[in-house]
Amino acid sequence: MTSGSRAGASGSPEIDPTRPPEESPGIRCFIGLGSNLGDRASFLRGAVAGLVSTPGIAVLRTSSVYESVPWGYLDQSAYLNAAVEIVTVLEPIQLLITLQTIESRLGRKKRFRWGPREIDLDVLLYGDRLIRRRGFDVPHPSMFERVFVLAPLAELAPELTTPDGEPLLDALQRLDPNGEQTIIQAIPLTFDR
């Protein structure tokens, strides 16, 4: 067990709430958030609150919230998207299950691929790990093709590179040379620790 962590009821280490999140042991991860139904901003805030309240996760920062046109299936309302930087001691599959639980608690209903959703939480990056499991791929397989994912991620971590070594900011510039392809506005997303 890493210094500064303790075992929880499940036997897995927890983040020490007395330490600043950036000093917490664990893996640096990025979570993508999206919503295009109902009170979209409220769903995003609820998702961040769910992350903040989860043992084994420390929320470091959130990006601004970006409003973007739909991707894939276009006949739906605009999305609000954001990214969250966390440190976690949860294993990747535990983190995925946690995100699905938060989605469920917030009332997400399964519809169809690329369809409208109350809330969508995706593991974008889990440290530098490459994960390929049925239905769970990290880095998220299409993230480097989506401005609405790259813009908030680049706001939090402009030093990142794509799997082929392209700087994240260059990838964003390539996809959105004028800085406005799908981003309609950016507003701050606040949360309480």
* 120 has catalytic annotation: yes
User: Do 32 and 149 meet the contact criterion of CB atoms below 8 Å apart?
Assistant: yes
Spatial separation of the C-alpha atoms in residues 72 and 93, rounded to whole Å: 26
Q: Which of 75, 117, 133, 146 is catalytic?
A: 117
Spatial separation of the C-alpha atoms in residues 57 and 11, rounded to whole Å: 15
Q: Which of 75, 122, 170, 192 is catalytic?
A: 122
Is omega for the bond preceding 25 within 30 degrees of 0, making it cis?
Answer: no
* 122 has catalytic annotation: yes
Q: What is each CA distance from 7 to 55, 94, 95, in whole angstroms?
A: 10, 15, 17
Residue type, 161: T
User: Do 107 and 118 meet the contact criterion of CB atoms below 8 Å apart?
Assistant: yes
* 19 has catalytic annotation: no
* 132 has catalytic annotation: no
Q: Which of 16, 108, 113, 170 is catalytic?
A: 108
Q: Which of 39, 120, 132, 176 is catalytic?
A: 120
Positions marked active-site: 108, 117, 120, 122
